[in-house]
Structure 1
């Protein structure tokens, strides 16, 4: 309804046409150069007149574009995820970020960005980025599916526990210790402790835990240097005409 028709189909049609024009110009300038396709269809909120970063329409049009990528264009696409229209890292931020992250992963976008954006892309916070990292990890576990093989079916473990008598349990079986790290999603920041344990640990809410983790990363993390060959290649790309 702002720079394109208010209907999603019309906005996508215009956006795709603009992308194809850009592709032609791009290839005329550098034949065979990499190109990311993306019509970037969000909504202009009719109450606030801002372009929403937390709306479901953006995720929906990205999924539609991913289908067209597979069936028509064959071009890699970019997408957004982990962003929100909220002004602070609150429940709205978490809900909108998670919706876009899981939907974009299921769409199999080739490049995903905007993680950690707040206020329709105007601001952000380290706590929001830290939260989004946890949500991305959860979503990756989900889209990874359920591996089914001899080890994961655990028929031998079932037989041991069933035939082991009243004192036998899966918790004490070797199979559990060998596989629980891979079989379960183990959150770093999402709290699953009992109330009394949570209270004894300081009764921190999710925002506070993200704040502590962000500060820890800033103080402890050391960026590994890039190999010399990679740095030389980057310089070559930047200097190319």
Structure 2
């Protein structure tokens, strides 16, 4: 039995699928791009204005063309398979604020570099991504578009597969060429030109719309023969219907419509089914992600991706809390539990997220690692092999004996998770040693990691390639 079946049955998945087919064929999805509309028309889809209607036959053909797994290649890190529960953990953040002591303030360029280094230094993270800098007054246009992208390549010793160029606000007509240029930069850096080296992650505009710029990125990725991730983030009652099943149905139609376009442009292109929808606070009209419904959407996303045989993205250490407090712990545990349960192939916002994606907490990086470690240990289950049943050890000790002898047994270290953050001491001992809080302890670990960061080795040719796009202040180091 799959973990998601505790929350959504196979019969319910089929109901959502049938509802999706009706949405695609009767309501349609808007594609605000002439090139996309021409592709649909050429392949026999009904197109009315900017609305495309997709029938079951066209959808089935796209699903058959999309691979269940694909490999991302790297000469500077390691090859990574996406699919089959690959659990690629990414320290992606889109934070505009940071928790600084007891206050929240806007992030600076230096804050973003710290976040980047923390992702690189984290033992659980596969890919660290540098946020777009808030202060770009001294940057050239190319540095604004490709600067953090090039810094990802130069300064992270981990995977670089999600380094998107900054094209927000640019004329959609320029996006296609800039996206191709960005992909070609990775290919040249890696020295790999005929395989997947990166993917493009794009958001759907709920309800039921693809605007022009993301579509140009789709064409660029397909023409450069690279895979894509599509993810909606609908808000119930605002940009989505007022039920979890309704949200899943609409999101499913949005994602699958994008899949059809991709497979029509280039059949067989790698594709990741994504969903980041959550709840809404109707008092403030804001997205909320630290909710049980967000967890249910993660389970539903896993179920639908499984139904279609597609790799998927969902989950993360999500919380609406504004401080590293009880709310942050409870919400993060709930969402990470769902994430570890469903084993997504790609996880964004894996660690460090507060304030509904908006607030960065470096201390939360450390807490989230601990939660992931505990949940992964829980998911591994109970080993009832003959050795682990310990009959001979129990017989040897017998009644009223003790198992405490010599050094800590290797079996104990394998079986029992050891936290490096959470307090397990006697209350008096903890108090006598200064009563250090979890937040303070995590802060001390943050400083150690930032001080321990070292840039990876890069060749002269790689540095020459990247320094053309890196802002002057960061060309020699970060």
Query: Which residue of structure 2 aligns with residue 171 of structure 1?
Result: 404
Q: Which has the higher helix share?
A: 1
Query: Which residue of structure 2 aligns with residue 209 of structure 1?
Result: 441
Whole-Å separation in 2 of the counterparts to 1:225 and 1:91: 41
Q: Which of 1, 4, 10 pairs up with 2:246?
A: 10
Aligned-partner SS, 2:240: coil
Aligned-partner SS, 2:314: strand
RMSD: 2.1
Whole-Å separation in 1 of the counterparts to 2:381 and 2:457: 34
Q: TM-score, normalised by structure 1?
A: 0.86
Matches within 5 A, 1:133-172: 133-162=369-398, 166=400, 168-172=401-405
Cα distance, 1:224 vs. partner?
Answer: 5.4
Structure 2 contact 248–300 (Cα < 8 Å) conserved = no
Whole-Å separation in 2 of the counterparts to 1:34 and 1:22: 13
Structure 1 contact 37–78 (Cα < 8 Å) conserved = yes
Query: Which residue of structure 2 aligns with residue 238 of structure 1?
Result: none
Query: Which residue of structure 2 aligns with residue 101 of structure 1?
Result: 336
Whole-Å separation in 1 of the counterparts to 2:330 and 2:439: 14
Query: Which residue of structure 1 aligns with residue 109 of structure 2?
Result: none
Cα distance, 1:223 vs. partner?
Answer: 5.7
Whole-Å separation in 2 of the counterparts to 1:79 and 1:208: 30
Whole-Å separation in 1 of the counterparts to 2:360 and 2:285: 20
Whole-Å separation in 2 of the counterparts to 1:221 and 1:154: 43
Alignment CA distance shift 1:225-1:25 (3 Å): farther
Q: Which has the higher contact order (CA 8 A, sep 6+)?
A: 2
Please tell me whether residue 45 in structure 1 is matched to residue 281 in structure 2.
yes
Alignment CA distance shift 1:75-1:225 (3 Å): farther
Q: Deviations over 1:118-143 (max 9, x none)?
A: 11111111011111111111111111
Please tell me whether residue 198 in structure 1 is matched to residue 430 in structure 2.
yes
Alignment CA distance shift 1:16-1:56 (3 Å): same
Query: Which residue of structure 1 aligns with residue 262 of structure 2?
Result: 26
Aligned-partner SS, 2:424: coil
Question: Which sections of structure 1, spanning at least 5 residues, go unmatched?
Answer: 236-241
Q: Which has the higher strand share?
A: 2
Query: Which residue of structure 1 aligns with residue 312 of structure 2?
Result: 77
Query: Which residue of structure 2 aligns with residue 65 of structure 1?
Result: 301
Please tell me whether residue 110 in structure 1 is matched to residue 345 in structure 2.
yes
Question: Which sections of structure 2, spanning at least 5 residues, go unmatched?
Answer: 1-236, 467-478
- Segment of structure 1 superposing worse, 36-45 or 7-16: 36-45
Q: Deviations over 1:92-136 (max 9, x none)?
A: 011101110011111222211213211111111101111111111
Q: Deviations over 1:45-85 (max 9, x none)?
A: 11221111211111101102212322x21111101221210
- Segment of structure 1 superposing worse, 196-205 or 185-194: 196-205
Aligned-partner SS, 1:51: strand
